[in-house]
Amino acid sequence: MDTERWKSVAIRREVVAMAEKIGAKTDRPTSNVFSYAVKRLYDDMALENLTETENISETPVSITKLELLLEKVSKEVESFKAMKENLEKIENDFFSDAK
Q: Where are the domains of the chain?
A: 3-98
What pLDDT does 99 receive?
A: 57
Q: Do 30 and 23 meet the contact criterion of CB atoms below 8 Å apart? A: yes
What pLDDT does 5 receive?
A: 64
What pLDDT does 1 receive?
A: 47
Distance CA 49, CA 23 (A): 26
pTM, to two decimals: 0.44
What pLDDT does 13 receive?
A: 84
Per-residue model confidence as pLDDT tens digits over 10-27? 778 888 888 888 888 888
Distance CA 74, CA 22 (A): 6
The residue ranges of the chain whose pLDDT is under 50 are 1, 53, 58
